[in-house]
Every structure is written in structure tokens, then in C-alpha cells.
A and B are shown apart, each in its own frame.
Chain A
Amino acid sequence: MRKSRTVARAALAAGTVLVLAACGGSPTSPSADSGDNADSGPTKAEELYEEIGGLSGQERRDRLVELAAEENGLNLYTSMNADILDSVSEAFTDTFDIDVNVYRAGSETVLQRILQEQDAGFPGNDVVETNGSELGALQKEGVMAQCVAQELIDQVPEAGQSEAWTSTRFNLFAPSWNTNIISGDMVPTSWEDLADPKYDGQLALELGDYDWYLGLTDLWLSEGKSQEEIDQLFADMVDGAVVVKGHTVMAELMSAGQFGVAASNYSYIVEAAKAAGAPVETQPYVSPVIARPNGGSCMKNAENPATAMLFMDWLLEEGQQVIADLELTPAIAEGDALGGAELVAVDSERLLEQGDEWSAKYDELLAGAETIE
């Protein structure tokens, strides 16, 4: 008897929660008041972006340095890797003597944190620097303002230009291989190669790389392949492939010889392993290299808007060299870093609009991955 009362009470408690919950809108549904900032007139930060937007060149830089000196450093939220970030923030601080407070997390977590803070009107960050698709989501929420000098935006490839953010660097997806296992004829020279049965049991795909899947599909469509042909190529790729979660684990297992070829690792992770002496290689690159834009922007409710602008300008000028020195791919590229290979960017807008669909399709595709024995 007592037990059934306990159950009833538990049910009652759960019911109360539901009723209380019903009194408000869902905290997890896209916020109804997104873009609120835009409706209630421009913020102070936006006014500053507007005012400085009219300036260019040295005049702009001088004015920003002057204004930034009166602000309290820079609050940056980013998904840059720690070693890249250390170099970037150190160089910025050395140049302007401005402290950089950094919150670093995965791109999805950075997005989640900003959405939560903006929803509560909490000005946590001045600048966000993260993956293109997350920036696209923030653009949709209307919380960022374009703050980069137009002359710099014009130099960025079109795939890296957007209404409210600007690309600062590209992450490259390229096939990589273990040179002890794969050599001579076995080295892949085109994306289509990966569908070849000779890689059965040797090819690895990453669990979350649906952006790569979308990028490669678009590339093949633009080359005139039909959807059936593309589906067949992917099906052949997955046939006999293994699925790995995480790019770091992927590189480590490939170095160790667990499999010979990784279809879609980030080139910088493989390069790092190679620099440590691991028998791995990404070059000559399979052309075209599929690139995913990463970028940044200033927040509409930034507390240090001049510093934010200064940082974004700097990142697209002097900062580009810092990025290039780290063997990464800056958005404003000089010379030929890819050894003649072309670069095709993943469509960020489409990734944002159809992300769910592509993620589900990729999931379904991988589910067909066969057993290796």
C-alpha cells in the first residue's frame, strides 16, 4: 500500500514539473526573441562598428588602437586548437599589449554557450571564432555584427564571405595513409580511388564527418556525376571500410597500423603526427582538397567592441601569417600552400539548412559499413 502511494507521489511530482514547464515556452526550442537586439535599435557596440566601418587603412587601425586602450581586454570564445590559439593570442598581445581571455571548447559547445548567454542577455564574449556552420547558426540568431574592414573581406574566397561573419582559415579534409602499408600504386590519387575494392579492410571513415560527405557530394555533382553514380561510389567506399570516432584516434590508429588509409582526416592532425615521426602522409594531396571554412565575428552586445574589431582586423592581416606559420591554411592565402591542389569549400549555408538531413543520411550510409575479419 505504502509502495503504491510512493509511486503515485513520484508520478505527481513528475506531473507538477510538466505543468510548471507548460507555463513557459520551451527553453530548448529556437528562441522566440532571437534577433531581439536588432529590433530594439542598434546597440552601443553596433554604433561603434558602424562608425569605424567608414574608416580604412592606417586611420582605422590607429582609431581602434586608441579606443581599445580604454577597454578591458578581449573576451574570446573559440574552438581553435590550443596550440594554434596560444600562438595567435600571444602574437596579438605582443603587438597591442591587450590581454586575451579565452574560453575554448568544441564548436558545438561554443555555439551552445553563446546561445545560452545571449538568450539571458549576458555579454560573455566580444568575439567568436569557430566553424562555419556554427557561425551560420549564430548569424541566424542575429547576435553577431560584421566588423571586418571591407577591403579585407574582399580578399577572402567567396565561400568564406558571409553577411555577419568572415572566414579566417580553412580546415582541410584530405585522404591520408600509413606509408608502411600503402605505397606505390596503392597511394590514392583521386577521391574516386577510395571506392576501389583494393582498399577493403584498409579504409577508415569518421563517424561525424557528414560535412565532408556533403562537400564531396557537391563536388561530384558539380563535375557532372549523377546522384546514382555518387551513391554507388559512397556505397563502394563504405563496403569494406571501418568506422572510427574522432579524428585524433583516427590518426593514432593509422600511425599504429590498425588500417592503411583515412578518407577524411583533418590534414593538420596528420601533419602533426608526421612531424612527430609517424609513418603517415597526406601529400601529394588528392585534388581538390575539401575545405571547411572557419571564421569569426564581433558580438552585437560586446563590452569591448573596439578591441573586438581590432582583433578581427588583425587576424585577417598580420594574423594570417601566424596561421600560415603553423602550417594551417589561412583564408587570405598567398602563394601555393597546397602544392598545386585545388581547394573546394563546403557550403556552410547548406550545411546549416540541411545539416540534420545530411547527418542522418551519413549515419544511414555508415550503417552499411561491413564487418572486417
Chain B
Amino acid sequence: MTLTSPPVRAEERTEPTGSTGASPSRRKLPLSPKFFIVAGVAAAIGYLALVPLGYLLWGTFFDAEGFDLGGFERAYGSGRMGELWGNSLAFAGGSAFLSLTVGTTLAYLNVRTAVPFKALFFAASIVPLIVPGILYTVSWIFLASPQIGLLNNFLEPVFGTAPFNIFSIWGMIWVEGLHSSPIVFLLMVAAFRSMDPSLEESALMSGATRLQTLRRVTLPLVRPALLSSVLVILITSLESFEVPALLGLQNGIYVFTSRIYFVFRSYPRDLQAAGALAVSLLAIAVIGVIIARLLAGRGTKTYQTVTGKGFRPRPLDLGKWRPVVGAGILIYFFATVVGPLLVLIYAALLPYYQAPSAEAFASFTLDNFRQVFEMDSAGRALVNSLVLGISAAVIVMALMSIAAWISVRSTIPGRGIVEQLSFVPLVIPGIVLGVSISFVYLRSPIPIYGTLLILLIAYCTKYMPYGMRYATTSMTQISSELEESAQVSGASWWTTFRRVLLPLLSPGIMAGFVYILVVSFRELSSSLLLYSPGNEVLSILIWEQFENGSFNVLAAIGVLMVVALVIMVTIAYKLGAKVGLRED
């Protein structure tokens, strides 16, 4: 292989833009289509974020008498607060580390190497995302509980009694880390896909080992994506209660979200205390976004790997490591997908859960599936969920692509705020989001309350932070020289955006779309407050089965969701493959 041009560092290739040189569009009259689009998007983001944020802060700092900080005392006054935060941070840090390692490794192998079993990646990347947290966690209890865990039974002859204990901080990290690794995987796939392999090839040519290349070239180039992943996973794990409640409490491991749980159960709801707890998450998020911006801003060009120079992402040959990596992938696939899914299918076929035995297999029945299909509202709920999921994914990704341009590429004053605002909903508890939205639309003259539209607004707000992470990560990789060339050739801003940027952003947009579509199917906390008769969504039905105590019907719904969403995501990928960067 011969390189046709000498290897150069990415930053040397692009002309500095931004603060030093005004782009041609800035000299135009402000009342251009660009102005309206940019202002409209910024206003939409501001509106979506400020409604719940305003409500949260208002509720946290003010009561009927005025300014009051009593909530902070009630929230943090407990003597156990140090222990709760310690557990929370260990749990969140551990989960972030695990999902980051797993997600990044898989994404790298998938995009950049000629690894075997590529089709499995697809399943491994979305199945844990589809299965509702509670089902995923309970499957792990059935697999690795010291008392009834199937894995423990199988492995007992080899490793002695109960080698695994899922009811420990390690078990919590394992389940949460695996459950959230798809977020990282999707983000990193997009980042690696937009990376010019010639940079790595140059390093290898110059005598660096594969490991050195990875450490000195590959990983630094995807730092914005890594940072985005850490930020999102840290905050979602800090907020997560399903896993700590089901796995930690059995062993007396309390996290700080258990405080929020108790605070929300009382009446009148102590929103001041709950808000006070959410405010600390907000602080972490704001600092995180600032750090991310500083890093990304410092090397506006460092991360730009999609440049005027054409490249074809070519897979790296793994050589003698191929079988080892292949085996690793199989193990991972069995651990995250096959194991929990088999347990779910097994539970869905049983009238009640029992350890596998001849008797258990004899009692297999399709009754649970029949019950799902006989539910009056199941069909309607599926349609509603589909409509909402697709609309939310499209709207969020459309808004966020432009927002990412504002935040990463433009020189508009205050552009940093757009990114900060788009991140805000991540720290707003679901119920506060629901209440704030109903508060506004109950008073709005436009009849949105009681329609599907109010759910759409809630979903768009809730998934905005994820969409923004996916879009900005991709945007930082696109060199500004492409945009400039288009404009120099006479294209308007809108044409440039549509014809140049959007196709180049497509790996990130696609990943964000898939993520939002899948997770919106299980959104419950705000859906439950905001739906109205006739507007049920799938997650409401799941919740109803849960309340009924029909865990096995729940497992059946989980299995059906996996089937339905795998089909839909396959279609989305097939459609998505028609635009943007292509592999060989």
C-alpha cells in the first residue's frame, strides 16, 4: 500500500475559522433564512428546557411564603448522606467505566477491524437497550443470585458454591454497565465511522505498534465522543434507581436516589427536597458540559477527521488476534444478549417462575403471549408508541443537528448556552418533567392537554440531551473547510447544511435516531401522568401488567418488544445506509 500524500496531522490541514475569520454568511442581512432557522431552533430548545428547569428551580427555592432553602436541609440533612453519595458515586463511576470500555471496544472492533460475527454486534448493541430495566435486572437475578441463580447452579461443580453474587456493588455495576453500554456503542460507532484511517496507517507506517497507535492516535481523536459518553452515563447511573433498588437493597446498599424515592412518596410531595437533590445533579451536568466544551473548543480542528480529502473507512486486519477477539465477542454476546433474553423467553413461557426441570418444561404454555394479544388496547398502544417514537426521534435529531452547528461551528454570541440548555432535561426527574408540562398546557389556550401531542412534547424534551450528544459529537469531526468550499462555490447556508453537513452527520444522526426510538418505547414516568384515555402507549400497558403482579406476562411483552424493535431498527439502518459515509 502506498500513501499518495504525506501523512499530516489533522489540525494542520484546515484553515482556522471561528473567532479569527468571519464567515461570509455573517456579512449578510440578519433577516436571512439562516437567521430564522437558527433563531427558531434556539428558541425551541430554550423553551423545551426552560419549562421544566424553571419549574424545578422555582419549586426548589420558593414555597408559598417566598425564598426558602428548607428543602436542602431535608434532602441533605440525613446523617447517612455521605454513605449514600459514596455508594452512588462508586456505582455510577463503575458503571460508566464498564460501559465505556465495553461500548468503545465493541464499536472499534465493529467499525475499524475485520472482526468475525459482525451481525451479532447489531443485536448486542440494541437488545439491552430495548429490554426494560426492571426485566433486565430481574433476569440477572434469575441468572446470578446466590440462592436461585442458574449460572451459579451450572458452575457450582467447577467453582464451588455460588461463584456469582448479583446482590453486591459489583453486580449493580455489571448490570447497569451492560444495560447502558449501547449508548456508548452507538456514540462511538458514529465517531469511528467518521474517522480517516490514514491517520492510523501513518502511525503504523512510522513504526508505532497497534497499541501505541490506539493510545496516541485513535483514542485522542475520539475524545469528544468519549467525553460525551462518560457524561451521559455518569448522570444516568447517578439517577438510576431500578438497579440499585433491586440489587443493592437486598444487601443494604443504599444510594442517594433512594432518598428521592422516599421524598416523592410522601404527601404533600416534598418537591423542594427532591429538587434540592436534582440541583446537585444539575451542577455536575453543567460542569461536565463546560469541561466537554473546553476540551472540544481547545482543539476545534484536532478532532476534525472528515475533511476535504476523501477517505474510505477500511477495516483493519486483526491477524493472529482474530480468533481471540472472535471468542471475546461471542462471550460478550452470550452475557448481554443471549443469557438475559433466554431467561425472559423462559419466564414468558411459564405460568410462574421456577427453576428449570422436567416439570417446568412440561408446564410451558403460550398463555402469556395470548394474554398480550387479547388486550384491547395493545394494538392502539403499539401504534401510539410507534408514532411517538418515530416523531420524537425525527424532531429531536432535526433540531439537534442545527443546534450542534450553532454550538460547535457558529460564532453566534451565547452559543454555549444552547448546549447547556439542551443538556438540562437529563437531570430533571421524569415526574417533575411531567408535572411541569401539564402545568403549562393546562393553562394554554391551544388544546394540547389530553392529546398525543403533549406526550410528544414530553418525549422531545426528555431525549433532547441524548440527541445533542450524538449530533455535536459528529459535528466536531467535520472539518469547516467543507462548509467553506460549498459557500465559496455559491451555496447558501441552508443548501450547505442540507447537502454537505447533513449527509456527513448521518452516522451520528442515525445513532441518535435509533437510540431515541428504542428508549421512547419504555418511557414511563411522564407518560403515566400525561396520557389520557385512548392515548395509551406501550409502556403504560407494561406498567399495568406490573401492577397486576403478572411478571410472566411482562416477560412476554418484553420478548415481543425485542422482536418488534429489532425489525424496526433493521429497517432504519437499511434506509440510513443509503446516505452519508459508506464503507467498502
Show the binding face of A for B, using Cβ within 8 Å: 2-3, 6-7, 9-10, 13-14, 17-18, 20-22, 24-30, 32, 75, 81-83, 101-106, 108-109, 111-113, 116-117, 119-120, 122, 124, 133-134, 137, 207-208, 210, 242-249, 251-253, 255-259, 268-269, 272-273, 276-278, 352, 355-356, 359-360, 363, 366-367, 369-373
Q: Are B64 and A137 in contact (CB under 8 A)?
A: no
- Across-interface contacts of B290 in A (CB, < 8 A): 3, 6-7
Question: Nearest B residue to A82 by beta-carbon distance?
Answer: B544
Q: For chains A and B in complex, what number of residue pairs have CB atoms within 8 angstroms?
A: 219
- Given pairs A103-B533, A120-B442, 18 additional interface contacts (CB within 8 A): A2-B297, A9-B416, A13-B421, A25-B64, A28-B59, A29-B268, A82-B544, A103-B532, A105-B528, A117-B438, A120-B439, A207-B261, A244-B246, A252-B352, A256-B148, A272-B549, A278-B353, A372-B167
Question: Nearest A residue to B248 by beta-carbon distance?
Answer: A243
Tell me if B62 counts as interface (CB < 8 A to partner A): yes
Q: Can you list 26 A-B pairs, Cβ within 8 angstroms, ordered by A?
A: A3-B416, A9-B416, A9-B417, A10-B286, A10-B417, A20-B54, A28-B59, A28-B275, A28-B435, A29-B59, A30-B268, A103-B532, A103-B533, A104-B540, A108-B267, A108-B269, A112-B435, A116-B442, A122-B442, A244-B249, A248-B549, A249-B246, A256-B355, A268-B549, A269-B549, A356-B266
- Across-interface contacts of A26 in B (CB, < 8 A): 58-59, 62-64
Interface centre among A6, A106, A277 (most CB of B within 10 A): A6
Q: Are A27 and B59 in contact (CB under 8 A)?
A: yes
- Stretch from B137-145, B479-487, B574-582 contacting the other chain: B137-145
A251 to B552, CA, bound (A): 12
- Across-interface contacts of B442 in A (CB, < 8 A): 116-117, 119-120, 122
| Per-residue interface assignment for chain B, residues 381 to 412, with 1 indicating a CB less than 8 Å from any chain A CB and 0 otherwise | 00000000000000000000000000000000
B:533-556 near A, CB below 8 Å: 533-534, 540, 544-552
Known: A6-B417, A10-B286, A116-B439. A273 touches B352 (CB 8 A): yes
Q: Are B549 and A29 in contact (CB under 8 A)?
A: no
Known: A21-B58, A247-B549, A360-B262. A276 touches B351 (CB 8 A): yes
- Across-interface contacts of B262 in A (CB, < 8 A): 359-360, 363
Question: Nearest B residue to A253 by beta-carbon distance?
Answer: B141
B425 to chain A, nearest CB (A): 14
Q: Please tell me which one of the listed residues B250, B270, B352, B435 contacts residue A243 in the complex, with CB atoms under 8 A apart.
A: B250
A181 to chain B, nearest CB (A): 10
A17 to B246, CA, bound (A): 37
Q: Are B268 and A137 in contact (CB under 8 A)?
A: yes
- Across-interface contacts of A119 in B (CB, < 8 A): 442
Tell me if B420 counts as interface (CB < 8 A to partner A): yes
- Across-interface contacts of B28 in A (CB, < 8 A): none
A306 to B500, CA, bound (A): 64
A204 to chain B, nearest CB (A): 9
Question: Nearest A residue to B142 by beta-carbon distance?
Answer: A256
Q: Are A359 and B439 in contact (CB under 8 A)?
A: no
B:46-74 near A, CB below 8 Å: 50, 53-55, 57-59, 61-64, 66-67
Q: Are B549 and A13 in contact (CB under 8 A)?
A: no
A273 to B352, CA, bound (A): 7
Tell me if B271 counts as interface (CB < 8 A to partner A): yes
Tell me if B414 counts as interface (CB < 8 A to partner A): yes
Tell me if B76 counts as interface (CB < 8 A to partner A): no
Known: A106-B528, A113-B529. A13 touches B417 (CB 8 A): yes
A268 to B67, CA, bound (A): 46
Question: Nearest B residue to A265 by beta-carbon distance?
Answer: B549
A112 to B434, CA, bound (A): 10
User: What 6 pairs between A and B have smallest CB-CB spacing?
Assistant: A28-B59, A6-B416, A21-B58, A120-B442, A278-B352, A269-B549
Show the binding face of B for A, using Cβ within 8 Å: 19, 50, 53-55, 57-59, 61-64, 66-67, 80, 134, 138, 141-142, 145-148, 167, 245-246, 249-252, 254, 258, 261-262, 264-272, 275, 286, 290, 293-294, 297, 351-355, 363, 414, 416-417, 420-421, 431, 435, 438-439, 442-443, 449-450, 528-529, 531-534, 540, 544-552
- Across-interface contacts of B540 in A (CB, < 8 A): 104
Q: Are A273 and B549 in contact (CB under 8 A)?
A: yes
- Across-interface contacts of A252 in B (CB, < 8 A): 138, 352-353, 551
Q: Are A112 and B529 in contact (CB under 8 A)?
A: yes
B150 to chain A, nearest CB (A): 11
Q: Are A82 and B547 in contact (CB under 8 A)?
A: yes
Q: Are A257 and B148 in contact (CB under 8 A)?
A: yes
B449 to chain A, nearest CB (A): 7
- Across-interface contacts of A30 in B (CB, < 8 A): 64, 268
Question: Nearest A residue to B145 by beta-carbon distance?
Answer: A258
Q: Are A3 and B435 in contact (CB under 8 A)?
A: no
Q: Are A102 and B533 in contact (CB under 8 A)?
A: yes
Q: Are A113 and B351 in contact (CB under 8 A)?
A: no
Q: Are B548 and A256 in contact (CB under 8 A)?
A: no
- Across-interface contacts of A7 in B (CB, < 8 A): 290
Q: Are B293 and A245 in contact (CB under 8 A)?
A: no
- Across-interface contacts of A359 in B (CB, < 8 A): 262, 265-266
Q: Are A27 and B58 in contact (CB under 8 A)?
A: yes
A258 to chain B, nearest CB (A): 5
Question: Nearest A residue to B444 by beta-carbon distance?
Answer: A120
Q: Is the interface of B mostly helix, strand, loop or mixed?
A: helix
A279 to chain B, nearest CB (A): 8
Q: Are B548 and A371 in contact (CB under 8 A)?
A: no
- Across-interface contacts of A75 in B (CB, < 8 A): 533
A26 to B231, CA, bound (A): 31
Q: Are B134 and A249 in contact (CB under 8 A)?
A: yes
Q: Are B435 and A116 in contact (CB under 8 A)?
A: yes
Question: Nearest B residue to A75 by beta-carbon distance?
Answer: B533
Known: A17-B53, A26-B58. A352 touches B267 (CB 8 A): yes
A9 to B290, CA, bound (A): 12
A242 to B355, CA, bound (A): 21
Q: Please tell me which one of the listed residues A10, A108, A245, A258 contacts residue B249 in the complex, with CB atoms under 8 A apart.
A: A245
Q: Please tell me which one of the listed residues A28, A82, A277 contacts residue B363 in the complex, with CB atoms under 8 A apart.
A: A277
- Across-interface contacts of A253 in B (CB, < 8 A): 138, 141
A273 to B548, CA, bound (A): 10
- Across-interface contacts of A124 in B (CB, < 8 A): 450
- Across-interface contacts of A32 in B (CB, < 8 A): 64
A255 to B354, CA, bound (A): 7
Q: Are B267 and A276 in contact (CB under 8 A)?
A: no
- Across-interface contacts of B148 in A (CB, < 8 A): 256-258
Q: Are B57 and A18 in contact (CB under 8 A)?
A: yes
A281 to B100, CA, bound (A): 45
Q: Please tell me which one of the listed residues B66, B251, B254, B547 contacts residue A372 in the complex, with CB atoms under 8 A apart.
A: B251
Q: Please tell me which one of the listed residues B62, B267, B353 contacts residue A134 in the complex, with CB atoms under 8 A apart.
A: B267
Q: Please tell me which one of the listed residues B63, B254, B449 contacts residue A367 in the complex, with CB atoms under 8 A apart.
A: B254
A83 to B545, CA, bound (A): 9
- Across-interface contacts of A272 in B (CB, < 8 A): 548-550
A10 to B416, CA, bound (A): 8
Q: Are A367 and B54 in contact (CB under 8 A)?
A: no
Q: Please tell me which one of the listed residues B55, B251, B548 contacts residue A83 in the complex, with CB atoms under 8 A apart.
A: B548
- Across-interface contacts of B251 in A (CB, < 8 A): 242, 371-372
Q: Are A248 and B252 in contact (CB under 8 A)?
A: no
A17 to B55, CA, bound (A): 9
- Across-interface contacts of B59 in A (CB, < 8 A): 26-29
Question: Nearest A residue to B242 by beta-carbon distance?
Answer: A245
Interface centre among A109, A210, A370 (most CB of B within 10 A): A109
- Across-interface contacts of A9 in B (CB, < 8 A): 414, 416-417
Q: Are B252 and A371 in contact (CB under 8 A)?
A: yes
Known: A255-B354, A258-B145. A28 touches B272 (CB 8 A): yes
- Across-interface contacts of A24 in B (CB, < 8 A): 58
B286 to chain A, nearest CB (A): 7
Q: Are A251 and B533 in contact (CB under 8 A)?
A: no
Q: Are A111 and B58 in contact (CB under 8 A)?
A: no
Known: A21-B62, A122-B442, A256-B353. A81 touches B547 (CB 8 A): yes
A273 to B552, CA, bound (A): 10
- Across-interface contacts of A133 in B (CB, < 8 A): 267
Q: Are B550 and A277 in contact (CB under 8 A)?
A: no
